[in-house]
């Protein structure tokens, strides 16, 4: 068995050997963040603080500060933790945009326990967002025993909620109403309810329904197979990312150690300790200034996710913002035009995964094309460029390609997008794909034309295709083509 102290020593050694250059920034920060969190779980604040000083990314610093703040609430005797918590409160405005509203509210209890209620008030005064500041005060009232002080604090929270912009004001006021009701201040609760533009009970019922629906959709139909440290380690080694190996070590350390002979052997093997090439940037990184090689590596240079729970570890977290959409579209057009030379450098599975990134989460490419943010000539150019991945890659690879991205490529190119320029160009490209000499290409084109129903141009292309090929088609192929013509194919 490798005990926690041994695992942490290996983790620190591995993190310390990750090269100190730009390509490895994300891995270094992820590694030291995981190490810092693990040391907090092991009640070693000094080592966690050393990890904090090695973080260069603001988001990582904030995450470890929040974890340290929560730790301080359970260890109010720690002078070092108190000092870090005081520094966080005194400079909260520097971190505010990086901390979620929920996390800020969760800081209230440890701040109150370690620094006192005055520090919570001081933090609320420094916060620029009145919604967040009000939430902080509402959370504080749950810790106050004096009814008079609780009521006074809620009045301050109410005033802050009134300053919230109209789109969020009802949600900010709802926190205040709930706190008034919990404190027994029914008259105040009724008064604040009257300030809301929406009925509070209807808001609550609607959101409860949304949550129930989301839980039903997200609940897996079949529970995932049990995971084990050994299986997790093998996957992480195959993914080839330095920070995932550090994450595995810290995770096992928090669990009390690693007690699996095969996994222990893997950890002690030279391969485990070897520094791997840098991972691609998060798929949520702004691609505006990516050159062709960087965009290619970001989309296709990722390992295939072997387990759904690993997805965020491979892709990263966040939401995608494209600062310069026109520049990104131009680079993506170059990628499509060179697809026949670029894509074969990667496995078919990686290519399939990368195309799905583009047309689904996080890029939603078709939505970008119809957003009105790029000129029509760029929309036309990149849509025409979508012919080349089919001709130069999918056509020669079709026999070996088992993914779904090419077949589903045109699903979102529907007449429902109300963009005549995009539709006309897509129809022209699909007409060209439909004559490529492989059934997989033709099926993809028919499926795309199906999604352009009821555009008569799409139906006419399929009718012509049937007239020219009916004799060489099977009965099932004819039936499916007719379904596509009617827009009824799945």
Dump pLDDT digits (tens) for 77-131.
999 999 999 999 999 998 888 898 999 999 999 999 999 999 999 999 999 999 9
Average pLDDT over residues 482-486: 88
Mean of pLDDT over the chain: 91
Residues 6+ apart with CB under 8 A from 222: none
Share of the chain above pLDDT 90, in %: 76
Report if residue 73 sits inside a domain: yes
Query: Largest Cα–Cα distance of the chain, in whole Å?
Result: 88
CB atoms closer than 10 angstroms to residue 141: 22
Among 218, 239, 255, give the residue marking a domain's end. Answer: 218
pLDDT of residue 216: 64
pLDDT of residue 214: 60
pLDDT score of 225 more than 80: no
pLDDT of residue 237: 95
Closest CA to 322 of 296, 298, 290, 292: 290
Contact between residue 355 and residue 306 where contact means Cβ atoms under 8 Å apart: no
**For 137-151, what is each residue's pLDDT tens digit?**
999 999 999 999 999
Residues 6+ apart with CB under 8 A from 408: 359, 447
pLDDT of residue 484: 85
User: Looking at the structure, do residues 325 and 473 belong to the same domain, yes or no?
Assistant: yes
User: How long a stretch of residues is the chain?
Assistant: 490
pLDDT of residue 217: 55
Domain region containing 153 = 4-218
User: Looking at the structure, do residues 332 and 469 belong to the same domain, yes or no?
Assistant: yes
pLDDT of residue 202: 74
Q: How many Cα atoms occupy the beta-carbon half-sphere of 351 within 13 Å?
A: 25
Count of domains forming the chain: 2
Contact between residue 382 and residue 370 where contact means Cβ atoms under 8 Å apart: no
Where does residue 119 rank: exposed (0-12), middle (13-18), buried (19+ CB within 10 A)?
A: middle
Report if residue 244 sits inside a domain: no
Report if residue 40 sits inside a domain: yes
pLDDT of residue 478: 87
User: Looking at the structure, do residues 175 and 42 belong to the same domain, yes or no?
Assistant: yes
User: Looking at the structure, do residues 297 and 208 belong to the same domain, yes or no?
Assistant: no
User: Looking at the structure, do residues 465 and 316 belong to the same domain, yes or no?
Assistant: yes
What are the contacts of 107-111 at 24+ separation with CB within 8 A? 107/66, 107/69, 107/70, 108/136, 108/139, 108/140, 108/143, 109/73, 109/139, 109/143, 110/69, 110/70, 110/72, 110/73, 110/74, 110/85, 111/69, 111/85
Residue with tokens 């993506």: 332
Instruction: Quote the tokens at residue 114.
Output: 């370690």
**For 365-421, what is each residue's pLDDT tens digit?**
999 998 889 999 999 999 999 999 999 999 999 999 999 999 999 987 875 566 888
DSSP string, 327-348: HHHHHHHHHHHTHHHHGGGS-H
Instruction: Quote the tokens at residue 328.
Output: 């990104």
Instruction: Quote the tokens at residue 119.
Output: 């520090």
CB atoms closer than 10 angstroms to residue 234: 15
Report if residue 27 sits inside a domain: yes
Element (H, E) at 65: helix 58-74
pLDDT score of 488 more than 90: no
**For 271-326, what is each residue's pLDDT tens digit?**
999 999 999 989 999 999 999 999 999 999 999 999 989 999 999 888 899 999 99
Report if residue 260 sits inside a domain: no
Label residue 166 by pLDDT band (50, 70, 90).
confident
pTM (predicted TM-score)? 0.84
pLDDT score of 27 more than 80: yes
Burial 174-209 (b: 16+ CB within 10 A, else e): bbbbebbeebebeebbeebbeebeeebeeeeeeeee
User: Looking at the structure, do residues 40 and 150 belong to the same domain, yes or no?
Assistant: yes
Report if residue 241 sits inside a domain: no
Average pLDDT over residues 206-215: 66
Instruction: Quote the tokens at residue 106.
Output: 């969760």
Closest CA to 246 of 267, 227, 225, 260: 267
Among 184, 218, 252, give the residue marking a domain's end. Answer: 218
CB atoms closer than 10 angstroms to residue 296: 22
pLDDT of residue 221: 55
pLDDT of residue 200: 75
**For 237-269, what is each residue's pLDDT tens digit?**
999 999 999 999 999 999 999 999 999 999 999
Among 218, 240, 260, give the residue marking a domain's end. Answer: 218
Label residue 198 by pLDDT band (50, 70, 90).
confident
Average pLDDT over residues 424-440: 94
Instruction: Quote the tokens at residue 422.
Output: 């995009």
Residues 6+ apart with CB under 8 A from 332: 295, 358, 365, 382
Report if residue 302 sits inside a domain: yes
Report if residue 261 sits inside a domain: no
Could you list the beta-strand ranges (E) of 3-108.
none
User: In a 3-state reduction of DSSP, which class is residue 88?
Assistant: helix
User: Looking at the structure, do residues 210 and 356 belong to the same domain, yes or no?
Assistant: no
User: Looking at the structure, do residues 312 and 208 belong to the same domain, yes or no?
Assistant: no
């Amino acid at each position: 068995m490798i005990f926690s102290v041994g695992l942490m020593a290996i983790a620190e050694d591995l993190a310390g050997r990750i090269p100190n250059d730009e390509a490895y920034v994300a891995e270094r920060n992820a590694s030291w963040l995981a190490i810092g969190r693990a040391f907090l779980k092991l009640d070693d604040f000094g080592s966690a603080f050393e990890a904090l000083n090695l973080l260069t990314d603001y988001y990582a610093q904030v995450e470890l500060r929040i974890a340290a703040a929560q730790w301080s609430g359970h260890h109010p005797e720690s002078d070092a933790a108190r000092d870090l918590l005081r520094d966080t409160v005194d400079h909260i405005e520097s971190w505010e945009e990086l901390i979620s509203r929920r996390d800020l509210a969760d800081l209230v209890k440890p701040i109150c326990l370690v620094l006192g209620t005055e520090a919570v008030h001081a933090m609320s005064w420094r916060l620029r967002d009145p919604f967040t500041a009000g939430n902080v005060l509402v959370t504080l009232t749950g810790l106050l025993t004096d009814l008079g002080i609780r009521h006074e604090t809620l009045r301050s929270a109410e005033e802050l909620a009134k300053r919230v912009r109209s789109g969020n004001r009802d949600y900010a006021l709802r926190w205040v109403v709930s706190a008034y009701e919990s404190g027994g201040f029914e008259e105040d609760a009724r008064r604040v309810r009257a300030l809301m533009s929406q009925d509070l009970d209807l808001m609550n019922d609607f959101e409860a329904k949304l949550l129930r629906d989301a839980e039903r959709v997200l609940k897996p139909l079949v529970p995932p197979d049990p995971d084990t440290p050994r299986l997790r380690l093998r996957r992480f080694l195959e993914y080839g990312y330095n920070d995932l190996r550090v994450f595995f070590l810290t995770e096992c350390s928090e669990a009390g150690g690693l007690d699996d002979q095969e996994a222990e052997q893997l950890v002690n093997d030279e391969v485990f300790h070897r520094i791997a090439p840098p991972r691609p940037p998060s798929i949520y990184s702004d691609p505006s200034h990516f050159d062709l090689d960087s965009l290619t590596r970001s989309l296709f240079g990722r390992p295939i996710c072997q387990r759904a729970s690993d997805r965020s570890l491979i892709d990263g977290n966040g939401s995608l913002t494209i600062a310069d959409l026109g520049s990104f579209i131009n680079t993506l057009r170059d990628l499509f035009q060179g697809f026949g030379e670029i894509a074969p450098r990667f496995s078919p599975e990686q290519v399939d995964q990368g195309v799905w990134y583009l047309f689904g989460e996080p890029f939603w490419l078709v939505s970008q094309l119809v957003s009105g943010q790029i000129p029509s000539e760029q929309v036309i150019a990149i849509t025409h460029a979508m012919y080349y991945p089919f001709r130069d890659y999918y056509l020669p690879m079709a026999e070996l390609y088992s993914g779904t991205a090419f077949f589903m490529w045109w699903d979102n190119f529907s007449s429902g997008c109300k963009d005549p320029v995009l539709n006309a160009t897509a129809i022209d490209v699909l007409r060209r794909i439909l004559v490529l000499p492989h059934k997989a290409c033709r099926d993809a084109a028919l499926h795309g034309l199906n999604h352009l129903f009821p555009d008569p141009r799409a139906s006419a292309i399929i009718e012509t295709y049937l007239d020219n090929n009916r004799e060489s088609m099977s009965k099932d192929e004819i039936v499916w083509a007719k379904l596509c013509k009617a827009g009824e194919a799945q």
